[in-house]
């Protein structure tokens, strides 16, 4: 029954076993382990206290998890302040220009996508802030608090909005006459509806059909490795989209940057040169998400070596800082792509 319910996410069937991916990540494994991870994926121990002694007795790990919560707090404050200011600015200009369809209105479709993306960053930050409870208690207790953290961490994935922003920016920058204002607005609305519908289904279906889908994963709560379907969906519902968003962003923003650099060289346009230099978002996004995806995949429940805990905290800190980093990156070059 569980396998058939998980198969509704048909793309998960194309995700290889996590153990096979672990073989590709062998350099992350402990040096003193000489054998390859076996691909007999065992059922995880569902005892919620399984990892608690390690967390309780390891002060350095608890301090590192608290650091992740503190960095997430900074991100939450940064994105919340920017979100509130942007909303006030948008409402003011909405009234001034008579709607977001006006030509001079700052309420551009890409602006709306950006506001939703930073809102998702705030949700991701909230999920990481909840780590503070585990560090103070010295253990993880499964229940509503644990499930809430897991859901917040999954909802806060802004990979699809990153893709939507990259696509919209590319189309409006490279083909300015291809979409009129009305078409761009409808495209943005369609993207938003489809993304939220997709996220809702990716959370509600496995959570209600797979046993022990959300729970204690060691340092915090998230998708467990209780069975093969959950392990595959951990990749299919999160990390695969990290990589996809990074790849699409690199390609589309790369084309934009090359085009701007050509214009700057041909016309001596220093403004275009500054805009090209400021488009470092794909690099930052990759730095934010790639470490945690590599460490998490190589930590899945397989026989064989696991990555050392020392890799976990820096990787988690990178993803926890994504909100603040995104705010710093978007603000300087917002006029180039008509952000608020």
Look-up: residue for tokens 């991100």? 75
Within 8 A by CB and 6+ apart from 32, the residues are none
Looking at residues 189-202, what average pLDDT do you find?
93
Evaluate if residue 214 carries a pLDDT over 80.
Answer: yes
In a domain, 127, yes or no: yes
In a domain, 16, yes or no: no
| pLDDT tens track for 216-227 | 888 889 888 777
| pLDDT tens track for 21-69 | 444 444 444 433 444 443 333 333 333 333 334 566 777 888 889 999 9
| pLDDT tens track for 67-120 | 999 999 999 999 999 888 888 877 777 777 665 555 555 567 887 888 888 889
More confidently predicted of 275 and 253: 253
Res 69: pLDDT: 94
* Percent of the chain with pLDDT strictly greater than 70: 68
In a domain, 26, yes or no: no
Within 8 A by CB and 6+ apart from 226, the residues are 43, 44, 46, 210, 211, 212, 213, 215
Q: Considering the entire predicted model, what is its pTM?
A: 0.75
C-alpha distances in Å from residue 36, one per residue of 18, 26, 221, 235, 316: 13, 8, 27, 20, 25
Of 146, 158, 138, 156, nearest to 61 by C-alpha is 138
The span from the CA of 134 to the CA of 23, in Å, is: 31
Res 23: pLDDT: 47
In a domain, 244, yes or no: yes
Quote the tokens at residue 170.
């590319």
In a domain, 243, yes or no: yes
Res 225: pLDDT: 76
More confidently predicted of 83 and 18: 83
Domains contained in the chain, number: 1
Quote the tokens at residue 191.
């993207």
Evaluate if residue 334 carries a pLDDT over 60.
Answer: no
Count of all residues that appear for the chain in the document: 340
Domain CATH for 238? 1.20.1070.10
In a domain, 19, yes or no: no
Res 207: pLDDT: 87
Query: 282 exposed, middle or buried (CB, 10 Å; 0-12, 13-18, 19+)?
Result: buried
Res 126: pLDDT: 95
Lowest-pLDDT range of 150-154, 194-198, 292-296: 292-296
C-alpha distances in Å from residue 299, one per residue of 26, 68, 295, 311: 11, 18, 6, 11
The span from the CA of 211 to the CA of 224, in Å, is: 10
| pLDDT tens track for 284-315 | 888 888 888 887 776 665 555 555 566 788 88
In a domain, 139, yes or no: yes
Lowest-pLDDT range of 162-171, 239-248, 264-273: 264-273
Domain limits for position 73: 47-337
CB 239 within 8 A of CB 72: no
What's the longest Cα–Cα distance across the chain?
A: 67
Res 125: pLDDT: 93
Looking at residues 262-269, what average pLDDT do you find?
68
Within 8 A by CB and 6+ apart from 9, the residues are 202, 205, 206, 233, 236, 237
| pLDDT tens track for 56-70 | 677 788 888 999 999
Evaluate if residue 280 carries a pLDDT over 90.
Answer: no
In a domain, 42, yes or no: no
Res 278: pLDDT: 53
């Amino acid at each position: 029954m569980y396998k058939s319910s998980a198969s509704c996410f048909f793309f998960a069937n194309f995700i290889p076993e996590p153990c096979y991916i672990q073989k590709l990540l062998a350099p992350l494994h402990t040096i003193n382990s000489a054998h390859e991870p076996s691909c007999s994926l065992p059922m995880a121990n569902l005892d919620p206290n399984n990892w608690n002694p390690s967390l309780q007795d390891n002060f350095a790990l608890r301090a590192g998890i608290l650091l992740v919560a503190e960095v997430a707090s900074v991100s939450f404050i940064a994105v919340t302040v920017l979100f509130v200011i942007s909303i006030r600015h948008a409402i003011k200009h909405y009234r001034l220009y008579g709607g977001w369809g006006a030509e001079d209105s700052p309420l551009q479709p890409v602006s709306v996508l950006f506001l939703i993306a930073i809102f998702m960053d705030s949700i991701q930050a909230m999920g990481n802030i909840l780590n503070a409870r585990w560090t103070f208690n010295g253990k993880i207790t499964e229940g509503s608090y644990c499930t809430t953290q897991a859901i917040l961490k999954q909802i806060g994935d802004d990979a699809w909005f990153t893709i939507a922003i990259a696509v919209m920016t590319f189309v409006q920058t490279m083909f300015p006459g291809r979409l009129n204002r009305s078409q761009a607005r409808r495209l943005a609305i369609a993207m938003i509806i489809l993304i939220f519908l997709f996220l809702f289904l990716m959370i509600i279906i496995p959570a209600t059909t797979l046993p022990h889908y959300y729970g204690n994963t060691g340092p915090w709560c998230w998708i467990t490795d209780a069975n093969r379907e959950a392990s595959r969906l951990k990749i299919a519902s999160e990390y695969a989209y990290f990589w996809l968003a990074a790849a699409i962003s690199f390609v589309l923003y790369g084309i934009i940057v090359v085009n701007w650099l050509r214009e700057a060289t041909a016309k001596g346009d220093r403004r275009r040169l500054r805009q090209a230099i400021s488009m470092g978002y794909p690099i930052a996004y990759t730095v934010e998400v790639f470490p945690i995806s590599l460490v998490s995949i190589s930590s899945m429940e397989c026989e064989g070596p696991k990555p050392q805990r020392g890799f976990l905290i820096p990787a988690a800190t990178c993803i926890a800082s994504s909100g603040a980093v995104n705010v710093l990156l978007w603000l300087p070059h917002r006029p180039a792509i008509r952000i608020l």
